[in-house]
Amino acid sequence: MARIWEENMGSITLRASLAAASIMVATAVSPQAQAQQDTLRVAIHTLPTQQGNPYGIQLTPAIFVGSALYDGLVLVNNNGIPQAALATSWKSLDDKTWQFKLRANTTFDNGRPVTARAIVDAINYLQGDGKKLRAAREVAGVESVTAVDNLTVNVVTKAPDAILPKRISQVFIPEPQAWADMGEAAYSAKPIASGSYKLESWNADKVVLVARKESWRPPKTGRIEFFGIPEQASRTAGILSGQLDIAINLGTDDIGRLKRGGKQVKVEAAPQVLSLILPNKVHDDSPFNDVRVRRAANYAVNKQSIADNLFAGQSRPAAGQGATARAFGYNPSISAYKYDPEKAKQLLAEAGYPNGFKLLAEVTVGAFAGDADMYQAMAADLGKVGIETELRQIVFPDWLKKYLSLGWDGQAFGLSWLTDPYVDSARFLTYISCSQKPAFFCDEETQKLIDASHQEFDSAKREGLLQDIASSYHDLAPAIWLVEAIDIYGMSSRLKGFRNENRWLAYHDMELDG
């Protein structure tokens, strides 16, 4: 039987007690804001904890604010193909040097031009004072970065890196002089960027952005108001009542309600697999240090039932690997772990756990549709084979601290095995491998394949290496791969032009009718 413990929930616990109908009380939407016809109103389950820090605003759900403010050098589309952003072209000069040509006449919202210096300063910062920040991992393999001229940047890597343009898409570029003058904390509170919108105000429950008509991607709507609303029911109620224009991360049970209410709904398969990570490098006495136990845990969980019953058939059970079929490197020959409780019990007995064991798993919920019910169903199935599971629900800032320091109290933790925003299975290999510092899972033989895949420029050969890695990880079972994630967006009937590229929302293309 699963138990959920809540820690440090703060205002989330307070607001969770509010009824769905009280959405506007919880989020303090003023009558004036409701009356504004040129204001796009967006609800996410929590606002960015690091505010507008350019090096930490790429994760879900922060990216839903970050995509209005910031640009990277490139934007990777839903098919995994890099598209022009601050850079209009790029090429490899040799096996270790990539050259990027910047977009001319582009400015930050303080009027200063976007030049090669901004790119150089950003990457150098991430390799120096900012090396502990999330985005630093994307440029850890960079040897040097230089400005050839105002609009040309050369990036030299320590080893050949076939997908550097995809990696560098995750480095959002701040205005360098303001960053230097203000420092990280002050800049995060009042970010200065090159996107379609700039900051007007930021408080605990609401962020207001205003249009930058001079942006290289000028918006069609004058303002965006972002609200942090943890309760899914309140986000849905906001769409139904006409008080919101976009509600992110809704549930499958909301689809019918919104459609019957004359609202728009978009359900998209996300290039992510929801999982419970089974580390082999966190606790010396963890049962999951034995591969037989990790495999047993995969056999114990009925993923098809979770997909059918908790996701209303909108999702699919994971295919025994961390990639979805859309991602480059997906291995179609891999068979998913079948639901086989007897096989799970057999493997547990072979590993020395005939009576099972107690498991503490730390998870966050609310970031993905259906994730809370999914973890409960998983825990119930594990309990049937003797793995008595307690789910400790923690808030994302605490989760992130534990993740970066390996400070886990439990033997397992929830994590989305993601291929976005690369749409490439190499995306997650930086994290769940020996190259993660500190590493929570490591297999030295598989690491050799991972290193080779990073350096392989031939597309067919690199795909083969990634598929071999997927096969190896299937056997190593570093996670219980549960279901493929879905994104459910509820939208008002007046919204036009909604477009999502790997959770980078193209707000500049959106407009309101009436």
DSSP string, 305-342: HHHHHHSTTSS-B--SSS--TTSBT--TTPPPPP--HH
Q: What is the dihedral of CA 168, 277, 330, 460, to 10 degrees?
A: 50
DSSP readout, 121-164? Answer: HHHHHHTTTTTTSGGGGGGTTEEEEEEEETTEEEEEESS--TTH
pLDDT tens-digit profile of 330-355? 999 999 999 999 999 999 999 999 99
User: Residue 6 has what pLDDT?
Assistant: 30
Candidates 396, 380, 261, 377; CA nearest to 308 is 377
pLDDT confidence bin for 381, thresholds 50/70/90: very high
Q: Is the pLDDT of residue 13 over 70?
A: no
pLDDT tens column, 39-72? 999 999 889 988 999 998 988 889 999 999 999 9
Contacts with 388 (C-beta within 8 Å, 6 or more apart), sequence order: 1, 356, 357, 358, 359, 382
**Measuring CA to CA, which residue among 396, 407, 391 is closest to residue 368?**
396
1 pLDDT above the threshold of 60:
no
Is 270:318 a contact under the CB 8 Å cutoff? Answer: no
- Burial string for 264-301 (b: 16+ CB within 10 Å, else e) reads bbeeebbbbbbbbbbbbbbeeebbbbbbbbbbbbbbbb
- Contact between residue 346 and residue 297 where contact means Cβ atoms under 8 Å apart: no
> Which residues are CB-neighbours of 225 under 8 A, at least 6 positions away?
29, 33, 39, 40, 41, 42, 206, 207, 208, 209
d(CA 133, CA 135): 6
For the chain, the farthest-separated pair of C-alpha atoms sits apart, in whole angstroms, at: 68
Helix (H, G, I), strand (E, B) or coil at 42: strand
Count of residues for the chain?
514
> Could you tell me the pLDDT band of residue 366, with boundaries at 50, 70 and 90?
confident
The residue with greater pLDDT, 502 or 253, is: 253
DSSP assignments along 404-422, one per residue: HHT--SSSEEEEEEE-TTT
Instruction: Render pLDDT for 148-198 as a digit per residue (tens, 0 to 9).
Output: 999 999 999 999 999 999 999 999 999 999 999 999 999 999 999 999 999
pLDDT band at 36, cuts 50/70/90? low
Residue 7 pLDDT exceeds 60:
no
CA dist., res. 51 & res. 38, Å (int): 24
Rounded to the nearest 10 degrees, how much is the dihedral formed by the CA atoms of 122, 128, 132, 135?
A: 20
d(CA 363, CA 307): 19
Rounded average pLDDT over 391-405: 90
Instruction: Could you list the beta-strand ranges (E) of 387-499.
Output: 387-393, 412-418, 479-491, 495-496
- Pairwise CA distance, residues 163 & 127, whole Å: 19
The pLDDT of residue 330: 94
Write down the mean pLDDT value for the chain.
Answer: 90
Distance CA 292, CA 278 (A): 12
pLDDT above 90 for 33 = no
DSSP 401: H
Residue 311 confidence (pLDDT) above 80? yes
Interval 420-439 mean pLDDT: 86
- 8 A C-beta contact, residue 494 and residue 512: yes
- Tokens representing 403 are 């993740």
